[in-house]
């Protein structure tokens, strides 16, 4: 019911519990699994537990890592802009207002909730400490997995139910309550997006152990959350809520909350909206009945629509570079294949043409070919003579050009030129200033280049001080 199918491996690592689902964007769930580990072991035990759990899963699928509501701070804000880049800048500046950490210590994502009456953009911003994400990425890395996307679980759950219930953009807000093993996620949806989310440290096991103790705590948490939503959003909270799983232990509690809260709870299990294989459905209904797997199934269904990706920027850049490298490699391979095919076609064409020439034209024009070879040999000899004469003229050209640019106050004693066009001259000048000026004159000459003063000194000549020098330069090719 969710469209075309693209498969994912979705993983939740939270408080020593790993949940894993192999499912598709169409809502088809193939496999689910769960295991626990000691969360204080620096991720090593978590990686080992995940490796063992992955034994029967397809490790080659794209990996989605899930961040739960308990690990994040969510807040509705308004910004006076509609430009995405400007909105990002404003969020970066305002993030420190909603968390005690510096901007460098946190990762931020947001959902655009549209414009309000004042034409300000309403946003639901989600802030997560960078270490929380790094810890999960480290466990995945040690288990041999590479996360393709890091999704905020409540956003995926909200979009899942918005699609499953076919909520229109103008439909009233709907509440969704997801009871997991040790916690509860309280969400409000409108316009197919998550408007509000809160996390309660009261889970399904609390109801199973003592429903009488859990009910007052749950009632208090709901009241606080409804008041917080009314304060943030300015609207009244929904009057009805969808519960994502059916559990007998919770039915009396939900019924008792209807009066004090003035709301109704309707069980509309997420299992009604997915296609699960026999083994996966059995595990979800019996083996894992004390927990909710919506947080690892919903991200696969809604991955393409989720706006929040809490992947660190440096990892996104690395993935972009890796992807570009793969594309370049594919293009290179395609180019090589095309070149081979073109070369093969040319070789075949040359082969047939060569065969034709050997059998026909070469035999017919053999006498003319002998004459052509003789003429080529004579032309080669003429070229050698011309090059020899030209080489001998080069030295005269160098002397002529030096004569033209050398002032009367400079005297040259030696001129040496090699076959590579490098020339070295020795001489004296009335002053060192003339020497430096002479180097520039040579470098500016139309025939010379790269002039540099190799050595310079002062010596006595005929009773006066003169500047002795050695200059090296090259002859330009056109000269």
- CATH number for the domain spanning 154: value is 3.30.420.380
Mean pLDDT for 54-71 is 92
- Residues 169 and 262 placed together within one structural domain of the fold: yes
Does the residue 238 lie in any domain?
A: yes
Same domain, 378 and 397: no
Picking from 460, 479, 457, 478, the residue whose alpha carbon sits closest to that of residue 469 is: 457
- Non-local CB neighbours of 133 within 8 Å, separated by 6+ positions: 67, 107, 150, 310, 311, 312
Packed helices 294-302 and 153-164: angle between N→C axes, nearest 10 degrees: 70
Q: Are both 377 and 429 inside the same structural domain?
A: no
| Residue 127: φ, ψ to 5° | -120, 130
Model confidence at 61: pLDDT above 50? yes
- Is 387 a member of any domain? no
Answer yes or no: is 221 within a domain.
Answer: yes
Compute the average pLDDT of residues 57-77.
91
**Are 253 and 342 members of one domain?**
no
Cβ 25 vs Cβ 300: under 8 Å: yes
**What is the length of the chain?**
479
Q: Are 162 and 292 within one domain?
A: yes
Is residue 414 one of the residues assigned to a domain?
A: yes
DSSP 404-460: HH--TTEEEEEEEE-TTSEEEEEEEESSHHHHHHHHHHHHTSSSEEEEEEEEEEEEE
pLDDT value at 1 more than 60: no
Question: Residue 479 has what pLDDT?
Answer: 41
d(CA 82, CA 321): 30
Q: Please check whether residues 56 and 32 belong to one and the same domain.
A: yes
Out of 311, 342, 363, a domain closes at 311
415 shares a domain with 378: no
In terms of pLDDT, which residue wins out, 327 or 156? 156
The dihedral over CA atoms of 337, 342, 344, 349, expressed in degrees to the nearest 10, equals: 170
- What's the pLDDT at 33? 93
Inform me whether the pLDDT recorded for 55 exceeds 60: yes
Report which of residues 249 and 101 the model is more confident about: 101
Query: pLDDT tens digits, residue range 362-418?
Result: 677 777 777 888 888 888 877 877 766 666 667 777 888 888 888 888 888 888 888
pLDDT value at position 329?
A: 82
Q: Residue holding tokens 């309550």?
A: 177
Higher pLDDT, residue 258 or 186: 186
Residue 407 sits in a domain whose CATH number is 3.30.1360.100
Domain boundary among 342, 359, 382: 382
Does residue 94 have a pLDDT over 90?
A: no
| pLDDT for position 353 | 75
More confident residue, 224 or 322: 224
Range of lowest pLDDT (58-67, 105-114, 425-434, 456-465): 456-465
**Any domain includes 146:** yes
Residues 319-378 have pLDDT tens digits of 777 777 777 888 888 888 998 998 888 888 888 777 777 777 767 777 777 788 888 888
Based on the fold, state whether residues 291 and 425 are members of the same structural domain: no
- Name which of 67, 32, 57 is nearest 274 in CA terms: 32
What values do phi and psi take at 123, rounded to 5? -135, 145
Same domain for 348 and 400: no
**What value does the mean pLDDT of the chain take?**
85
Distance CA 16, CA 18 (A): 7
Same domain, 48 and 110: yes
In this prediction, residue 392 carries a pLDDT of 62
With cut-offs at 50, 70 and 90, classify the pLDDT of residue 20.
very high
pLDDT tens across 171-181, in order? 888 999 998 88
The alpha carbon dihedral of 249, 250, 255, 257 has a sign of positive
User: What are the residues facing 77 on neighbouring strands?
Assistant: 123
Q: Are residues 416 and 460 in the same domain?
A: yes
- For residues 178 and 276, membership in a common domain is answered with yes
* Residue 170 pLDDT class (50, 70, 90 cuts): confident
Tell me the pLDDT tens digit for each residue of 250-298. Answer: 777 777 777 777 788 888 888 889 888 888 888 888 888 888 899 999 9
Who has greater pLDDT, 96 or 238? 238
Residues 6+ apart with CB under 8 A from 338: none
Residue of 124 and 192 predicted with greater confidence: 124
In the chain, the number of structural domains is 3
Residues 104-152: tens digit of each pLDDT: 889 999 999 888 878 888 899 999 999 999 999 999 999 999 999 999 9
In a domain, 114, yes or no: yes
């Amino acid at each position: 019911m969710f469209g075309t199918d693209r498969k994912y491996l979705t993983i939740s690592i939270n408080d020593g519990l790993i949940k894993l689902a192999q499912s598709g964007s169409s809502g088809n769930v193939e496999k689910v699994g769960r295991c626990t580990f000691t969360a204080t072991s620096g991720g090593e035990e978590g990686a080992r537990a995940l490796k063992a759990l992955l034994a029967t899963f397809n490790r080659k699928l794209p990996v989605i890592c899930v961040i739960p509501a308990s690990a994040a701070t969510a807040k509705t804000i308004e910004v006076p802009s509609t430009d995405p880049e400007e909105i990002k800048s404003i969020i970066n500046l305002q993030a420190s207002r909603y968390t005690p950490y510096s901007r460098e210590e946190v990762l931020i994502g947001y959902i655009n909730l549209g414009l309000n009456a004042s034409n300000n953009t309403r946003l639901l911003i989600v802030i997560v400490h960078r270490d929380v994400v790094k810890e999960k990425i480290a466990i995945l890395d040690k288990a041999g997995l590479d996360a393709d996307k890091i999704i905020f679980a409540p956003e995926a759950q909200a979009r899942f139910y918005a699609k499953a219930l076919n909520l229109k953009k103008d439909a009233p807000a709907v509440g969704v309550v997801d009871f997991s093993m040790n916690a509860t996620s309280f969400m409000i949806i409108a316009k197919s997006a998550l408007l509000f989310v809160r996390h309660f440290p009261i889970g399904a096991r609390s109801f199973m152990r003592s429903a009488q103790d859990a009910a007052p705590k749950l009632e208090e948490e709901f009241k606080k959350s409804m008041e917080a939503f009314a304060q943030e959003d300015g609207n009244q909270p929904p009057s009805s809520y969808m519960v994502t799983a059916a559990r007998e232990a919770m039915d009396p509690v939900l019924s008792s909350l209807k009066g004090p809260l003035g709301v109704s709870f309707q069980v509309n299990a997420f299992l009604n909206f997915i296609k699960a294989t026999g083994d996966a459905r059995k595990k979800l209904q019996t083996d894992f009945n004390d927990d909710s797997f919506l947080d690892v199934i919903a991200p696969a269904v809604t991955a393409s629509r989720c706006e929040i990706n809490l992947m660190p920027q440096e990892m996104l850049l690395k993935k972009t570079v890796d992807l570009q490298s793969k594309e370049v490699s594919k293009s290179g391979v395609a180019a090589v294949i095309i070149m081979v095919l073109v070369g093969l076609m040319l070789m075949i064409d040359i082969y047939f043409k060569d065969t034709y020439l050997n059998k026909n034209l070469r035999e017919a024009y053999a006498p003319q070919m002998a004459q052509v070879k003789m003429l080529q040999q004579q032309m080669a000899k003429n070229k050698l003579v011309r090059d020899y004469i030209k080489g001998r003229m080069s030295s005269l050209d160098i002397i002529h050009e030096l004569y033209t640019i050398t002032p009367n106050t400079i005297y040259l004693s030696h001129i040496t030129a090699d076959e590579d066009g490098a020339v070295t001259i020795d001489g004296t000048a009335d002053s060192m200033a003339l020497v430096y000026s002479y180097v520039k004159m040579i470098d500016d000459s139309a025939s010379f280049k790269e002039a540099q003063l190799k050595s310079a000194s002062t010596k006595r000549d005929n009773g006066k001080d003169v500047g002795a020098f050695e200059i090296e330069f090259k002859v330009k090719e056109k000269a």
